[in-house]
């Protein structure tokens, strides 16, 4: 895996670069990014067909990710050539490490996050016992603007790296506490080290209550699912998607996060399926049941339809 460290959700001011969008969102470019499918089974061919179930990526607004971060996209072929890590025995377990203050807010949330991750990636997921960050050497501060508590991300990555179980594919910390990557920065949504299989993501800013607005637990949960699946997707070497509306689209604003779906486009689905080898229709069916039970009606309907389409006549 490449030795790459990512900081997530940072805003930079650069000149607008629309070329990626115009160049990669055409039907020809999307088919080229998916790559040849003729040798695949009929089920996989259907799964990787960019039909009307997948919405086009709208032209980016001036504050949107693709206007600010001119990313070239990553075709399926480029992904395979980069020899990304595959989750397989003996290293196939996704470890989730909660940091503080989870159970007091919603005791069921950790079980739900674990179940979501398991169904999304079709891999074993272990939820580790929440740790008290003040006991494990993680620096913290009070943000001078928001006056909210924040944790220092490099300390968290150090902590995670010290104890990755032998069967661990990756170890990801999740927290409701806000984060900062170094003292000069205001905040960061998360940070990950692909080479070490470690990452940390904060859900703090996903509930409108962070900004003094009315709490919206359902919205916060949907956003938490999205960020967890998106960032774990990066752990498999999947880069930002520039082809269709997709979970792996880069996001510079909360509006963009909300506009991106919780599912993968055919390009990114093909990458994840390459790394994990799951049965696509079975995965959609498991997600349909999970979303229905979690009250995510639209998402449940979408994966149910996809399961039927992929299974074929
Ligand atoms: Zn990302
Ligand atoms: Zn995609």
Integer angstrom CA distances of residue 97 from 93, 108, 114, 253, 270: 13, 15, 11, 26, 28
Measured in Å, residue 234 CA sits from the centre of ligand 1 at 7
Q: What is the pLDDT of residue 10?
A: 40
Domain that holds residue 304: 279-313
The overall average pLDDT reported for the chain is: 88
Residue 101 clears pLDDT 90, i.e. is over it: no
Same domain? For 169 and 57 the reply is yes
CATH of the domain at 65: 3.40.390.10
Residue 105 clears pLDDT 60, i.e. is over it: no
**Regarding predicted confidence, which is higher, 195 or 118?**
118
Q: What is the pLDDT of residue 268?
A: 98
Lowest-confidence pick of 14-28, 80-94, 218-232 = 14-28
**Regarding predicted confidence, which is higher, 65 or 236?**
236
- Closest C-alpha among 293, 260, 308 to residue 56: 260
**Regarding predicted confidence, which is higher, 270 or 192?**
270
Count other C-beta atoms under 10 Å from residue 90's C-beta. Answer: 9
Measured in Å, residue 6 CA sits from the centre of ligand 1 at 8
Mean pLDDT of 135-164: 93
How many structural domains does the chain have?
2
What amino acid positions are annotated as catalytic residues? 231
Same domain? For 80 and 38 the reply is yes
Q: What is the pLDDT of residue 20?
A: 58
**Residues contacting 313, CB < 8 A, separation 6+:** none
Same domain? For 78 and 140 the reply is yes
Same domain? For 211 and 292 the reply is no
Ligand nearest to the CA of 74: 2
Q: How far apart are CA 97 and CA 95, in angstroms?
A: 6
Measured in Å, residue 251 CA sits from the centre of ligand 2 at 13
The pLDDT > 70 percentage for the chain reads: 89
Mean pLDDT of 82-110: 83
Same domain? For 189 and 291 the reply is no
């Amino acid at each position: 895996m490449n030795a790459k460290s990512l900081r997530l959700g940072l805003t930079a001011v650069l000149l607008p670069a629309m070329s990626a969008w115009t160049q990669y969102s055409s039907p020809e470019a999307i088919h080229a990014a998916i790559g040849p499918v003729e040798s695949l089974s009929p089920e996989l061919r259907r799964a990787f067909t960019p039909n009307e179930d997948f919405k086009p990526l709208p032209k980016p607004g001036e504050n949107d990710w693709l206007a600010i971060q001119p990313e070239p996209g990553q075709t399926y072929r480029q992904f395979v050539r980069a020899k990304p890590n595959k989750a397989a025995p003996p290293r196939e377990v996704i470890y989730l490490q909660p940091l503080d203050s989870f159970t007091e807010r919603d005791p069921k949330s950790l079980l739900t996050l674990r179940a979501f991750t398991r169904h999304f990636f079709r891999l074993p997921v272990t939820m580790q016992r929440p740790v008290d960050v003040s006991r494990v050497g993680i620096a913290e501060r009070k943000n001078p603007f928001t006056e909210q508590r924040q944790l220092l991300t490099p300390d968290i990555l150090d902590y995670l790296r010290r104890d990755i179980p032998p069967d661990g594919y990756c170890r990801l910390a999740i927290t409701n506490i806000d984060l900062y990557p170094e003292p000069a920065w205001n905040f960061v949504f998360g940070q990950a080290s692909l080479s070490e299989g470690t990452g940390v993501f904060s859900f703090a800013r996903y509930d409108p209550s962070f900004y003094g607005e009315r709490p919206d637990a359902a919205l916060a949960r949907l956003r938490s699912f999205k960020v967890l699946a998106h960032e774990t997707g990066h752990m498999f070497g999947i880069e930002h998607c520039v082809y269709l509306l997709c979970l792996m689209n880069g996001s510079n604003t909360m509006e963009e996060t909300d506009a991106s779906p919780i599912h993968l486009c055919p390009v990114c689905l093909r990458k994840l399926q390459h790394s994990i080898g799951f049965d696509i229709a079975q995965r959609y069916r498991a997600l349909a049941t999970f979303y229905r039970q979690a009250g995510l009606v639209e998402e449940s309907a979408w994966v149910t339809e996809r399961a039927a389409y992929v299974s074929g006549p």
